[in-house]
Structure 1
């Protein structure tokens, strides 16, 4: 089998839809990447949907994109025969496909066609667990679907009569469909606004017990959830699968010799993330915007780790995360490298105080990472409750001199105080 085509072993009989993945390798694309790795990622995306049996895929070299069919007529015919031989029901094209191209390809091949955006939306729809996540995916899917309303099927070409209450006689079915989608989007936005307000209240409540937030971000399947589980002892879904984590997960963690923090595991980023989802998941990623420290987890064993890292940086910038936000790069999956490559990566990481080479699976290197986070957060304030006897006037005066007291209540035995202080200030207080 050629380098650009390969079969996928799959013994899961429960998957009912036979799918084939095509990765268009467009020579004129300035952002073109290694075709084989692009195909491998696309197949991994497809395999993230349990109802698909991913038979395999291939790279399709293209000099230019054909406006009406994407591929040339010869390739269309060749693929038609191959898809028929393999009894393929769904073709997944790793890239953007216009509504017209989708219609023409479905007609030529006699199968359903889905582009990269549609596939990612399907995965998100399958994985969303929280109410907010479900609403955001529904809105993104509707926005995407609205662009797909072309005169592709007979029911979209007929005239709608009706009673004239909505749209009036003569409104085309495509206009009625758009109207229905727009109305549903309005309803979803109202529901989402309520959920977002609830999240804001939860954030406000956490702010009253202000644990610093440490957010894990990175390309999908970089190992964020594995690292999260190792550091927290939680059991977040962590698989060798794209988008294994969708909704944000947070746990309280006590750093060694440092403050307690809230560790946040977030949805993974990916190249060419649909714009609908970048906007829709802005609220979900608010924990990143509020983070005191960001840990950018990278799969250092991946051949395109640098390109993946750049994708993450660009999405972070689009979300409004400042470049000067305290952050560390976490080079994960050392265990997948051979000894020579592992040593080389470790040497590179040791030269930069902001970079840590680790294996989240084995736990190697995580102690140094936690120590660096602790040092970074030494200036972060947290709340504490104190009781001082009447005889401890010196300590009480010091707290007020440092402007650390939030509230104070006198009791029969002394004073109950709520203070906000850093780790250093707490240590100073203990030495008084």
Structure 2
């Protein structure tokens, strides 16, 4: 009987701890193992080394290199994944010295993005990022360029394409950029229509696997379910849905790609238009996995990327999710914040309440007289404003409530 089951790739992880990365080194190595699992690899062993600075030729010292050779032979290792970004020369030297495929954290993340991309735009963005990453690695690569697809680090455009000349790669990148510009124009048109629709916009932002998609599903309703899994980068494409927070009051909710430590600059550039969805909202919900022991490092990573994307001026509500998985006392480090488990009905209600309380801070008070002959407008007003009271006057309804300052123009006038 022929066994058609694909053999799981056996992986050895390697990392270099320096004075620059020692605070986040442990968490990033744990994350590297999770990334490898997400990519379908089986982690067999892990090697780390403390150095003042990475070795210029091979990232690690000669003694550690010998240990790696021995571990590769004993563990029947297929691939070595480094936690640091390797230069093209380091990559070539390591593959020559170790005799197996060597990739770095950046290529691993690119590989996972290639696995996760579903939309035409997402696939183009990932391919663009991969080609920009691999272009400087074309020259003089022995084992790397002999790979014929298969295994971690070979998703997306494929290694066989990289055996052609640089001109082909550059032409492909130019064609992708042209295609993405057309998609970006369409996205901008949709974004402009959404901005002109007179609806308050909320965006979800956070570290990968913090529970953003679960929050989207809980607020939107299961009949419009967004894909969610307990895995890194479960969703890549920006998704916007309408959400009723109370009675008929409706907001738009946008979920986009999660962040991670050392997110490749190629991906940030390629996904610029997708990430900019977060810049076109009125309120950001920063979702944090409270159960993760390294959540404070995750918070700082997200805050840094938010700063890079120029999101600092947008109001933020911090949500510590997965509190049902937290052991012992939990002390939040960001404020204002709400602590909950979005998988519970109580958690969903707490989140809605927290959002409404935040809106009360951001909205302005209004008073309105609505003539009885225009009573048909009241249901529409309830959709974009928080109506607090409606009383009957002599000739009109007396309405009070709260509204986003930028939406005040939608209130009917005499």
Task: Note if contact 1:297-1:331 (Cα within 8 Å) is conserved in structure 2.
Answer: yes
Tell me what 1:132 maps to. Answer: 121
Task: Note if contact 1:335-1:359 (Cα within 8 Å) is conserved in structure 2.
Answer: yes
Tell me what 1:211 maps to. Answer: 199
Alignment of 1:260-299 (within 5 A): 260-299=250-289
- In the alignment, which of 339, 354, 373 is matched to residue 392 of structure 1? 373
Q: Which has the larger radius of gyration?
A: 1
Residue 25 (1) aligns with residue 17 (2): yes
Tell me what 1:431 maps to. Answer: 398
Q: Gapped runs of 5+ residues in structure 1?
A: 1-12, 157-173, 382-387, 405-416
2:314 and 2:73 map into 1 onto residues whose CA distance is: 53
Moved over 6 A (4+): 417-420
2:323 and 2:182 map into 1 onto residues whose CA distance is: 43
- In the alignment, which of 169, 193, 211 is matched to residue 181 of structure 2? 193
Structure 1 residues 419, 233: CA separation in 2 closer, same or farther (over 3 Å shift)? closer
TM superposition shift of 1:55: 2.7
Alignment of 1:8-407 (within 5 A): 14-26=6-18, 28-29=19-20, 31-50=21-40, 52-153=41-142, 177-234=165-222, 235-257=225-247, 259-321=249-311, 323-338=312-327, 340-342=328-330, 344=331, 352=335, 354-377=336-359, 392=373
TM superposition shift of 1:105: 0.6
TM superposition shift of 1:132: 1.1
TM superposition shift of 1:216: 1.1
Calculate the aligned-residue CA RMSD, in Å.
3.2
Task: Note if contact 2:92-2:140 (Cα within 8 Å) is conserved in structure 1.
Answer: no
Tell me what 1:413 maps to. Answer: none
Task: Note if contact 2:206-2:259 (Cα within 8 Å) is conserved in structure 1.
Answer: yes
> Aligned with 1:341: secondary structure?
coil
Task: Note if contact 2:96-2:143 (Cα within 8 Å) is conserved in structure 1.
Answer: no
> Aligned with 1:19: secondary structure?
strand
Structure 1 residues 196, 426: CA separation in 2 closer, same or farther (over 3 Å shift)? farther
TM superposition shift of 1:262: 1.6
TM superposition shift of 1:245: 1.7
1:21-55 Cα distance to aligned partner (Å, 9 max, x none): 112222x32x32354332211010111113x3333
1:51-75 Cα distance to aligned partner (Å, 9 max, x none): x333342333333311011111111
TM superposition shift of 1:113: 0.6
Task: Note if contact 1:221-1:244 (Cα within 8 Å) is conserved in structure 2.
Answer: yes
Q: Gapped runs of 5+ residues in structure 2?
A: 146-161, 365-369, 400-414
Task: Note if contact 2:210-2:289 (Cα within 8 Å) is conserved in structure 1.
Answer: yes
1:63 and 1:47 map into 2 onto residues whose CA distance is: 30
Count residues with an aligned counterpart. Answer: 366
1:146-191 Cα distance to aligned partner (Å, 9 max, x none): 12123234999xxxxxxxxxxxxxxxxx997222221111100111
1:419 and 1:263 map into 2 onto residues whose CA distance is: 18
Q: TM-score, normalised by structure 1?
A: 0.76
Task: Note if contact 1:35-1:59 (Cα within 8 Å) is conserved in structure 2.
Answer: no
1:48 and 1:122 map into 2 onto residues whose CA distance is: 10
Structure 1 residues 179, 25: CA separation in 2 closer, same or farther (over 3 Å shift)? same
TM superposition shift of 1:361: 2.7
2:51 and 2:250 map into 1 onto residues whose CA distance is: 53
Task: Note if contact 1:217-1:266 (Cα within 8 Å) is conserved in structure 2.
Answer: yes
> Aligned with 2:208: secondary structure?
coil
Structure 1 residues 357, 418: CA separation in 2 closer, same or farther (over 3 Å shift)? closer
Tell me what 2:408 maps to. Answer: none
1:42 and 1:70 map into 2 onto residues whose CA distance is: 17
